Amino acid sequence: MTPPATVRTAITGVGWAVSGPGFDPAGLTRRGMRHKDRASRFAVLAAEAALEDAGLLGAPELEGAAVVLSSNYGNLDTVCDFVATIAESTSAGIRPMRVPHMSSHVTAAWVALQHGIRGPNLTLCNGASGGLDAVAWARTLIAAGRAAPVLVIGVEPDTAPVARLHRETGGQRWIDGAVGLVIEPTEHAGSRGAPIRAEIAGYGKGDDELSAVRAAGAEATPRRLDGEPAARFGRCSGALGVVQCALAVEQLADGAVLAVAGAGSSESDGTSVSALVLTPPGRRTA
């Protein structure tokens, strides 16, 4: 899944839509949000903020862009609601127009529809490493010539079913919101004069943390993002890797940053581990 080293990719936009200080909840109820689940509402807001940051909001080139979204809980509340309705009144109680909302892919679809994106549209649901894997898939799509730019979204909502699952596994705090990244080839970003927030220098995946970090070429990277997402937001689940990248962009002045997610990291879920190296613009790791 790792693209050729000759394809240099960069983060050119970052967008936050996370409940807490500085977030205006009115955005969740604005026009066009009525029929969307909570995860989709957050994702749409984060996507809009990331595209605006990258100077691509409303740009014609978005038609050929792609969406890669990572979420483990996504529209779980909708699925639970449907199951309860069927149990009470059989499938006759389900309105046909709402059936597509049961798909775990509905959030990525809403983001694409909102911005006229007609390229590849993917949803990852593979544990805490999903956010970093989503960034890697964005690089792969770019390297394959399938899309440029790629909008990456990490989203997890705080709904009643999600809260129940967290509490049953000892969770006390968890994120409620979405984070978006715009990823594109550095050459493409330069040609349109876009500011490069960070370059993606390496990605690796393994059965344990050490092998993933080595695969990313990051043995000597001095700093890593691990506990900060949890300290700020609590559990981030499928949004973790995207949150890490967004935080790394804020901290690149001191050099390269390593993000690690999966088994062995601060938010371990017993699955494989992913690692990603981000460097300041124009600087590459050895």
Q: State residue 257's pLDDT score.
A: 82
Of 29-33, 143-147, 241-245, 279-283, the range with the lowest mean pLDDT is: 279-283
Per the model's pLDDT, the better-predicted residue between 283 and 255 turns out to be 255
Q: State residue 159's pLDDT score.
A: 96
- Pair of tokens at residue 249: 């962009």
Q: Provide Rg for the chain, Cα atoms.
A: 18
In CATH, the number for domain 9-279 is 3.40.47.10
| pLDDT tens readout for residues 164-202 | 999 998 999 999 999 999 999 999 999 999 999 999 999
Separation of alpha carbons 141 and 153, rounded Å: 15
Instruction: Quickly state the pLDDT bin for 12 (edges 50, 70, 90).
Output: very high
Separation of alpha carbons 245 and 30, rounded Å: 28
What angle separates helix 38-54 from helix 106-115, to the nearest 10 degrees?
40
| pLDDT tens readout for residues 146-165 | 998 999 999 999 999 999 99
| pLDDT tens readout for residues 83-98 | 877 777 877 767 766 6
Per the model's pLDDT, the better-predicted residue between 272 and 238 turns out to be 238
- How confident is the prediction for the chain on average, in pLDDT? 88
Percentage of the chain beyond pLDDT 90 is 61
**SS3 per residue for the chain:** CCCCCCCCEEEEEEEEEECCCCCCHHHHHCCCCCCCCHHHHHHHHHHHHHHHHHCCCCCHHHHHCEEEEECCCCCHHHHHHHHHHHHHHCHHHCCHHHHHHHCCCHHHHHHHHHHCCCCCEEEECCHHHHHHHHHHHHHHHHHCCCCCCEEEEEEECCCHHHHHHHHHCCCCCECCEEEEEEEEEHHHHHHCCCCCCEEEEEEEEECCHHHHHHHCCCCCCCEEECCHHHHHHCECHHHHHHHHHHHHHHCHHHCCEEEEEECCCCCCCCCCEEEEEEECCCCCCC
Q: State residue 2's pLDDT score.
A: 47
| pLDDT tens readout for residues 35-90 | 899 999 999 999 999 999 999 999 999 999 999 999 999 988 888 877 877 777 87
Instruction: Quickly state the pLDDT bin for 3 (edges 50, 70, 90).
Output: very low
